[in-house]
Amino acid sequence: MIKKENYVKLKEKYGNIASWAIWDKPCKSKKNDNISGEKWCLNDDELMKNIKTKYVLVALNPYGGKNAKRSKKQDNTLPWKQNFHTSANDRKLRDAVRGTSLEGSYITDLFKRIPTEGQKSLKIKEKDIIKSVKELEDEIALISDNTILIALGDVVFDNLIKYLSGPYVIRKIRHFAYRYAKKKDGYKKEIKRLIQRLEKKRNT
């Protein structure tokens, strides 16, 4: 369980740009199957009971397109809800991690201060990469000293491998926005395989 003082620090610094792999119960009658439900994050003490520190999911950067104004308006009203809890793509992540050991994990972006409309429009100088990685390390230190990092996509994975200074365990899966074509539950199966590999290695 995360320490209360660390949780408070994370909330104050990153509550409007990071989140947790926790969502309200799916509901087909609500928009995007209730992906933007708020009950899960209304009470800090209850939320902390569901937080897990074994893994941290690291995506690339926030979306800064047509929904940016709406997200900015939410900054100071409800922490943890601005990122990873709004779109149909976020629903893919929720459906894939629900019921797995990734549920309850911290989710953040590597380049959390640089929103763009997509990966192709993201242009980062090396000094900004180093700055972003250092900030990520500060986040991780508040979670756990032995957490496993799950990079969402090749770009994140490559930068973590190259620039992280600590002895971190880093693994990779594709980003949840990746198109899994006609493969039903493709992302969930990929996450399941990753967890199985991690658990098997831990037990050997």
Query: At residue 32, does pLDDT exceed 80?
Result: no
Predicted confidence at residue 66, as pLDDT, reads 53
pTM for the whole structure: 0.89
pLDDT tens per residue across span 112-133: 998 887 776 788 899 999 999 9
In angstroms, the Cα distances linking 140 to 32, 55, 65, 87, 145 are 30, 10, 28, 26, 7
Q: Tell me: the pLDDT tens digits for 140-172? A: 999 998 899 999 999 999 999 999 977 899 999
List the alpha helices (DSSP H) in the chain: 4-14, 44-50, 68-73, 88-97, 126-143, 154-163, 186-202
Query: Which range, of 5-19, 39-53, 116-130, 133-147, averages the lowest pLDDT?
Result: 116-130
Q: 104 pLDDT exceeds 70?
A: yes
Domains of the chain: 4-202 (3.40.470)
State the residue for tokens 């308006």. Answer: 73
What whole-number distance in Å separates Cα of residue 11 and Cα of residue 19?
9
CB 157 within 8 A of CB 175: no
pLDDT beyond 70 at 180: no
